[in-house]
Amino acid sequence: MAAPGHGTSNNIGDKIIEHVANSDVMIHLELFGVDLSITKHVIMLWIAAGLLVSAALFATRRYRKEDRHVPSGFSNAFEYVVDFVRTGILIPTVGKNHVLKWGPLVMSFFFLILTMNFLGLMPFFNYINHGHGGTTATGNINVTAALALITFFAIIMAGILEHGFFKHWKNLVPGGLPKAVYIILIPIEILSMFVRPFALTMRLAANMTAGHIAMLAIFAPIFLLHNAYVGVASVALNVGITFLEIIVSIVQAYVFTLLSSVFIGQSIHPHH
């Protein structure tokens, strides 16, 4: 495989991988022996976080000043999405009494992932790192793994805060079953504890990357065949796929957030 970042390979497959992968190190940074180098996806993360924080602070400026604010315009639109997360995700999963405690985490998940997903759709971010690849940070498995690890610890924290340290681990398996069942059940529950964040990681990263791979694959025949009709068809198809990707971006942010919230809710209210 050609070294990414040089763009010398004529192999379409390598080009595609090069496009969706993270960039080479742009600024080398090492702290306490840990490599903290700045790459394209770190910059994408910062852009997303910066945009989100600015927009959210702007939208909620009045809420911090007025006791009973009646929103309009952008605030109103923002509030609509916040209320969607609150009533559509938080209340049914963690319950009304825990919304204030877990709301900030769940809302940060939703809005940050959504912002990053949308950034991936903007075709100009490939200019970071000299024209290579416009995929966003949520297309990188390390980013989604880091987010899923936060979910993993949040699930444990939620259970411990609600039921205490020992009760939380006991809650993982249902009580009052024959002892033989536990021999099977305990490993399954422990496994599922790790499978959940792993599934979150793969689902988000794969979905965000897949769209780019599909679009690049559809563009590829233009360069292979050098035919104008193929070009028109490819572009038309990709316009459609772009619309599909908008939906995928929203759905994947929703799915990650919803599942995280569901798992946290299960920890708070064990239904065993």
For another protein, the binding residues (CB under 8 A) are 1, 4, 17-18, 20-22, 29, 34-37, 39, 41-42, 45-46, 49, 52-53, 56-57, 59-60, 63-64, 67-69, 79, 82-83, 86, 99-100, 103-105, 107-108, 111-112, 137, 140-143, 145-147, 149-150, 209
What DSSP letter does each residue of 38-107 carry, written as one string?
B-HHHHHHHHHHHHHHHHHHHHTTTTTT-SS----HHHHHHHHHHHHHIIIIIHHHT-GGGHHHHHHHHH
Smallest distance, another protein to C-beta of residue 140, A? 7
Q: Which two tokens stand for residue 230?
A: 């193929």
Q: Which two tokens stand for residue 123?
A: 């075709």
Smallest distance, another protein to C-beta of residue 214, A? 15
b/e per residue 196-208 (b: at least 16 CB within 10 A): bbeebbebbbebb
**Which residue, 103 or 211, has its beta carbon nearer to another protein?**
103
**Which residue, 36 or 122, has its beta carbon nearer to another protein?**
36
Q: Are strands 34-35 and 30-31 parallel, antiparallel or unpaired?
A: antiparallel
**Which residue, 139 or 270, has its beta carbon nearer to another protein?**
139
Helix (H) or strand (E) holding 166: helix 165-171
**Which residue, 91 or 237, has its beta carbon nearer to another protein?**
91
Smallest distance, another protein to C-beta of residue 245, A? 18
Smallest distance, another protein to C-beta of residue 251, A? 21
| Phi, psi for 38 (deg, rounded to 5) | -85, 125
Smallest distance, another protein to C-beta of residue 88, A? 13
**Which residue, 151 or 171, has its beta carbon nearer to another protein?**
151
